[in-house]
């Protein structure tokens, strides 16, 4: 009986309509499409006139869509801590407040990452025992573990710069819960990104993280992995501090960009190479689909009591639709509650 009620009561996702390189157009279109494709309610926060003008041209379910107006917004160029202070009515901040007020159960923005982390931190309570939140990204791998999918989860990729050993252990616990949900496996493997395989590597903090995880029941810890193992998919979850995670993720993006430029160069350079690229085009298309971030729906910011999803700054409508659906699914699967329980169990062992 309770379950039926829960299923009929739709999850509400608050969306920063003004954040991201393609806002508000692609954000509003993506949110509108989410109401058509799934039983989710969305609240679009931003310039009401602009939002309405965009909605006029697309299909959506009016009964599932609400607009909360504000004139202010934080841009990609704003300095996060200054913008948060100077623009208390910014769309990103108001959207976070809808979560803390209980009007929404999830948050999505494609805007300024630093400002988004700050505005979530200032407005949405953290789970007890979590001192540092973490941005987790799903990335494609060579699937060395032969899972049904070929994705791994890397966190933190930049919610914070540095953190303590215990913070990183909690990244492992949060990552484990999230990965077990999205990959549909019970006991995901967890690895620590380090400069060598041996337990003593990487200095005091990393060797302490190794020791704690190695002795922790309930975590399927496989030890350290190195940079060249990241893409191999040796582990379902890879943990690191935000400083390294950010640089590694962006290095991977940079290399993808380089490969695609090389392709364009080769296409122009020689007739034979052009023929080769045309023959390979269906393979290249399959590969692009495989590594297209818009399919994954964005990166969760883990450690809050509500679902917080960061969509890529370059997100188009499809990526936003997926981010909204991901937020709603994560709420239905009670990710935050399950993380809360996991952290409480860890704390009780101390």
Name which of 19 and 140 has its Cβ closer to its own copies. Answer: 140
Integer CA distances (angstroms), 256 to 102, 149, 236, 288, in order = 40, 20, 22, 10
87, 283, 299 from 326: Cα distances, Å: 28, 28, 10
252 binds its own copies per the rule CB under 8 A: yes
Taking the C-alpha atoms of residue 232 and residue 13, their distance in angstroms, rounded to an integer, is: 34
- In the complex with its own copies, the residue whose CB is nearer, 28 or 157, is 157
- Give 125 or 276: the residue with its C-beta nearer to its own copies: 276
Q: Which residue has the tokens 């484990």?
A: 176
| 103 or 269: CB nearest its own copies | 269
Judged by CB under 8 A, does residue 222 bind its own copies?
A: no
Stretch of residues binding its own copies (CB under 8 A), selected from 62-70, 213-221, 242-250, 316-324: 242-250
Q: Dump strand ranges (E) for the chain.
A: 11-16, 40-46, 65-69, 106-109, 134-140, 151-155, 189-193, 220-225, 237-239, 299-302, 307-310
Q: Count of residues for the chain?
A: 350
Q: Does 251 bind its own copies (CB under 8 A)?
A: yes
- Which one, 233 or 298, has the nearer CB to its own copies? 233
Minimal distance in Å, beta carbon 24 to its own copies? 25
Cα–Cα distance for residue pair 150/241, rounded to 1 Å: 23
The piece of 90-98, 158-166, 184-192, 333-341 that touches its own copies (CB under 8 A) is 158-166
Name the one range near its own copies by CB under 8 A: 42-50, 164-172, 263-271, 306-314: 263-271
**Residue 112 contacts residue 18 (beta carbons within 8 Å):** no
Shortest Cβ 265–its own copies spacing (Å): 9
Question: Which H or E run includes 349?
Answer: helix 335-349
Cα–Cα distance, 94 to 103 (Å, whole number): 11
Cα–Cα distance measured from residue 223 to residue 197, given in angstroms and rounded to the nearest whole number = 7
Q: Report if residue 249 touches its own copies, rule: CB under 8 A.
A: yes
| CA separation for the pair 277, 76 (Å, rounded) | 36
Give the count of residues interacting with its own copies (CB under 8 A): 53
Q: Does 17 participate in binding its own copies (rule CB under 8 A)?
A: no
User: In this chain, which of 6, 161, 289, 337 binds its own copies, going by CB under 8 A?
Assistant: 161
Interaction residues for its own copies, span 110-129 (CB under 8 A) = 114
Tokens 């430029």 found at: 261
Told to check if 268 binds its own copies by CB under 8 A, we report no
For 213, the 3-state DSSP assignment is helix
Are 68 and 45 in contact by the 8 Å Cβ rule? The answer is yes
Quick one: which segment of 178-186, 195-203, 298-306, 316-324 binds its own copies (CB under 8 A)? 195-203
Binding range to its own copies, per CB under 8 A, among 23-31, 127-135, 190-198, 312-320: 190-198
Residues pairing with 243 in the sheet = none
CB proximity list for 8: less than 8 A, separation 6 or greater:
none
Shortest spacing between CB 316 and its own copies, in angstroms: 19
> Who contacts 332 (Cβ-Cβ below 8 Å, separation ≥6)?
11
Contact between 262 and its own copies by CB under 8 A: the answer reads yes
Which range touches its own copies (CB under 8 A), out of 95-103, 122-130, 175-183, 246-254? 246-254
Regarding 227 and contact with its own copies (CB under 8 A), the answer is yes
In 3-state terms, what secondary structure has residue 255? Answer: helix
Site string for its own copies, 44-73 (x = CB under 8 A): ------------------------------
* Residues found near its own copies in the complex (CB under 8 A): 79, 114, 142, 158, 161-162, 193-196, 198, 202-203, 226-232, 240, 242-244, 246-255, 257-259, 261-262, 266, 269-270, 272-273, 275-280, 282-283, 287
């Amino acid at each position: 009986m309770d379950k039926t009620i829960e299923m009929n009561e739709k999850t509400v996702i608050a969306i920063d309509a003004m954040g991201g390189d393609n806002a508000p157009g692609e954000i509003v279109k993506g949110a509108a499409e989410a109401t058509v494709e799934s039983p989710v309610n969305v609240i679009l926060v931003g310039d009401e006139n602009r939002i309405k003008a965009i909605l006029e041209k697309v299909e959506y379910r009016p009964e599932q869509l609400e607009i909360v107006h504000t004139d202010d917004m934080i841009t990609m160029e704003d300095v996060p801590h200054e913008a948060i202070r100077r623009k208390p009515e910014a769309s990103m901040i108001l959207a976070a407040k809808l979560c803390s007020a209980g009007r929404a159960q999830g948050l999505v923005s494609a805007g300024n990452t630093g400002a988004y982390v700050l505005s979530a931190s200032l407005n949405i309570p953290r789970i007890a025992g979590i001192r540092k939140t973490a941005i987790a990204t799903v990335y494609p791998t060579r699937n060395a573990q032969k899972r049904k999918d070929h994705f791994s989860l890397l966190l933190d990729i930049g919610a914070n710069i540095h953190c303590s050993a215990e913070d990183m252990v909690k990244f492992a616990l949060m990552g484990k819960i999230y990965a077990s949900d999205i990959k549909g496996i019970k006991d995901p493997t967890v690895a620590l990104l380090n400069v060598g395989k041996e337990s003593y590597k990487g200095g005091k903090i990393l060797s302490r993280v190794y020791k704690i995880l190695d002795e922790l029941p309930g975590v399927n810890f496989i030890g350290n992995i190195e940079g060249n193992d990241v893409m191999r998919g040796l582990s379902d979850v890879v943990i690191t501090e935000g400083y390294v995670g950010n640089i590694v993720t962006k290095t991977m993006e940079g290399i993808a960009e380089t490969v695609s430029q090389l392709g364009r160069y080769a296409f122009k350079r020689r007739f034979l190479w052009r023929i080769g690229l045309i023959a390979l085009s269906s393979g290249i298309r399959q590969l692009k689909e495989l590594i297209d971030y818009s399919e994954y729906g964005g990166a969760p910011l883990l450690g809050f009591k509500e679902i917080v999803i960061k969509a890529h700054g370059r997100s188009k409508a499809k990526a936003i639709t997926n981010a909204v659906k991901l937020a709603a699914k994560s709420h239905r699967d009670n990710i935050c509650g399950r993380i809360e329980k996991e952290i409480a169990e860890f704390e009780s062992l101390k």
